[in-house]
Chain A
């Protein structure tokens, strides 16, 4: 879309970028102005980490669970980030459903806004929130023993994975939002994702699992992703482990984007 109002554009920023940026800022402003919508999603993972690290601290003493000199809280740090990002991403996607329900989506598509900007604006907000969560979780857990052996580089990997994963979860949620137009339907997606976290190595080492649970957890892509993040926290920075985590997050993001773009395209074509 290159249509402009004749003689009025002074900026050299491409229209798509300007529109996407404006919609990202709107998404960020909405997050900031309704803390009740995201604070519980940040508090819950922290509480879960606090409870698990306290109740299962003796797990860390078992051989092979965590390297010497590290803590079970460090083991759980990636899980807290993934869980928070999942909450945030889904909330970000659900905002698209809110836009559809309130008619703001119609306002957008009846303007000459570039179509991809609508999705970029929504998901850009979710990514910004994902980065915020990854930083805040690390800062909060740091004084309680939630250090990262990989240092700045390792911490940065956690933030990058969080951002890419926010895009993935946000896109999947936006895809459901575009297809159903119902925020409730998007929230209904949450338990499925939550279960997928429990069926992974997020909260417990797969070595200590048994039977089908262990098999599912070992083959769960989320385990692959969280193990790569955990390596940065417990062992030190590693390019290959970072690529493993970012790669899985990126696959989720690509699938999510395909799902979301198809959903938005369909909604615009059908005219909701």
Chain B
């Protein structure tokens, strides 16, 4: 099967502004693909082109095997879309909206009603199903939005900043739901986000976009490893300091640390921790405090753009 999402040299301009500037992407079958970038980087513009809401200025994109321009109807039948700001009619109930969604996707009444009930249960909205959506909390709206996107059991699911504006607990719940539908349905998920930890937690692979261009792409671990090795910081009793230092430098280059603390960059990455701990144990060194400071996706973004992403979208 061809890649669920394949993008080649995609561009989109608005008058003299280039929002998307030659993007190439390949999203693999069954993966959660995180699309990370600050506000205005071009994330939503790319999503709008992929879900056929916006025509590209140039370039090509195929979704679920169909061209987004010449086969847009087939694309729409194959995808589920939950756009930014959960565009849900506040004057309708959750159940009414799900049943409407079923009709829009050409699903018969009986099947549509059954699917609506299943989805309401799945996203925990059965109790609130007959309440007007205008009275739902932000988290409930997002969960309903997700249920709407899943009505026709799409092969590819687009989630555009699904947790923006949610409280931490609602965010965690939604992450869990996204993971479940990826593992249980096998749906390929294209997730845009401005939250580093969201991409880190959920995505199998991540692309970082800035000023309409992809600046980094890969698994979160690989991207972070490219920035540099994680730093292990260690406090030991003063009399064991030198012994511990001689031992630690075998695992990587010594790094700057405050007085009395040891710091070393682990050449083997985070997985090298196991060997360090074993060596310290065998040498009889008492460890008072230990922490591993791994590079974050923000470090990856900073390395690629010279700016920090953290807080940029707030």
- Decide if B103 touches A19 in the complex (CB within 8 Å): yes
A50 in contact (CB, < 8 A)? no
Please tell me if B53 contacts chain A, counting CB pairs below 8 Å.
Answer: yes
Number of interface residues of B (CB under 8 A): 38
The answer for the CA separation of A272 and B112 in the assembled complex, in Å, is 30
Contact between chains at A22 and B73 (CB < 8 Å) = no
B100 near A26 (CB under 8 angstroms)? yes
B33-76 CB contact bits vs A (8 Å, 1 = yes)?
Answer: 00000000000000010011111000000000000000001101
Are A26 and B89 in contact (CB-based, < 8 A)?
Answer: yes
With A8-B106, A111-B105 in contact, is A22–B74 under 8 Å at CB? no
Is B104 touching A271 in the complex (CB atoms < 8 A)?
no
Closest to A9 in B: B108
What 1/0 flags go to A1-21 for Cβ under 8 Å of B?
101110011110001001100
Q: Which of B77-85, B223-231, B253-261, B284-292 contacts A (4 or more CB under 8 A)?
A: B77-85
A31, chain B: closest CB distance, angstroms: 9
Asked if A55 lies at the interface with its beta carbon under 8 angstroms from chain B, I say no
Contact B81 A107 (CB under 8 A): yes
A209 contacts partner chain B, Cβ-Cβ < 8 Å: no
Residue-wise interface mask of B (104-133) relative to A, using a CB-CB cutoff of 8 A (1 in contact, 0 not): 111111111000000000000000000010
Contact B83 A110 (CB under 8 A): yes
With a CB–CB cut-off of 8 A, which chain B residues contact A109?
A: 52-53
**Interchain nearest-CB distance for A85 vs B (Å):** 22
Contact B107 A106 (CB under 8 A): no
Whether B111 lies near A29 (C-beta < 8 A) is: no
For residue B96, CB closer than 8 A to chain A, the reply is yes
A18 to B112, CA, bound (A): 13
Residue of A nearest to B55 (CB): A271
CB distance from A39 to the nearest CB of B (A): 16
B61 to chain A, nearest CB (A): 13
Residue of B nearest to A33 (CB): B91
Given A19-B103, A104-B89, are A110 and B73 neighbors across the interface (CB < 8 Å)?
Answer: no
B107 close to A29 (CB less than 8 A): no
A57 at the interface (CB under 8 A from B): no
**With an 8 A cutoff between CB atoms, is A266 at the interface?**
no
- A153 interface residue (CB < 8 Å to B): no
Asked if residues A103 and B107 are in contact (CB atoms below 8 Å), the reply is no
Compute how far the CA of A11 lies from the CA of B108 in the bound complex, rounded to whole angstroms: 6
Known: A30-B89, A34-B91. A110 touches B77 (CB 8 A): no
Residue numbers in B under 8 Å from A104 (CB-CB): 87-89
Across-interface contacts of A272 in B (CB, < 8 A): 53
- Shortest C-beta distance, A70 to chain B (Å), equals 42
Interface pair B85/A103, CB less than 8 Å apart: yes
In the bound complex, how far is the Cα of B48 from the Cα of A1, in angstroms? 21
How does the 8 Å CB contact mask read for A95-120 relative to B, with 1 for contact and 0 for none? 00000001110111111110000000
Instruction: Say which residue of B53, B84, B101, B110 sits within 8 Å of A271 (CB atoms).
Output: B53
A-side contacts of B74, CB under 8 Å:
3
Q: What is the bound-complex CA distance between A19 and B106, given in angstroms?
A: 8
A269 interface residue per 8 A CB criterion? yes
The answer, yes or no, to whether B279 is at the interface (CB within 8 Å) is no
Closest B residue by C-beta to A101: B87
Bound complex: CA A11 to CA B110 (Å) = 9
Task: Please determine whether B54 and A271 come into contact, CB atoms closer than 8 angstroms.
Answer: yes
* Chain B residues whose CB sits within 8 angstroms of the CB of A107 once the complex forms: 81, 83, 87, 148
Q: Does B268 contact A (CB under 8 A)?
A: no
Interface residue? B92 (CB, 8 A):
yes
A9 with B87: CB separation less than 8 A? no
- How many Å from the CB of A118 to the closest CB on chain B? 10
Bound: A108/B73 CA distance, A: 12
The docked-state distance in angstroms from the alpha carbon of A11 to that of B107 is: 9
In the complex, what residues of B have CB within 8 A of residue A26's CB? 89, 92, 96, 100
- Whether the pair A8, B107 counts as a contact (CB closer than 8 A) is yes
Q: How far is the CA of A154 from the CA of B152 in the complex (A)?
A: 48
Instruction: Assess the B92–A15 pair: CB atoms within 8 A.
Output: no
A111 touches B87 (CB 8 A): no
In the complex, what residues of B have CB within 8 A of residue A5's CB? 77, 105-107, 152-153
CB distance from A61 to the nearest CB of B (A): 49
Q: How far is the CB of A268 from chain B (nearest CB, A)?
A: 9
* Chain B residues close to A by CB (< 8 Å): 48, 51-55, 73-74, 76-77, 79, 81, 83-85, 87-89, 91-92, 96, 99-101, 103-112, 132, 148, 152-153
25 residue pairs of the A-B complex, CB under 8 angstroms, read A1-B73, A3-B106, A8-B112, A9-B108, A9-B111, A10-B109, A11-B108, A15-B106, A29-B92, A33-B132, A102-B89, A103-B87, A104-B87, A106-B83, A107-B81, A107-B148, A108-B104, A109-B52, A110-B53, A110-B81, A111-B104, A112-B73, A112-B77, A112-B104, A112-B106
Besides A5-B105, A112-B77, 19 more A-B contacts (Cβ < 8 Å) are: A3-B73, A3-B76, A3-B77, A5-B107, A8-B106, A19-B104, A26-B89, A26-B92, A30-B89, A104-B87, A104-B88, A107-B81, A108-B104, A110-B52, A111-B101, A112-B105, A112-B106, A269-B55, A271-B54
The 4 A-B residue pairs with the shortest CB-CB distance, nearest first, are A103-B87, A271-B54, A10-B108, A4-B106
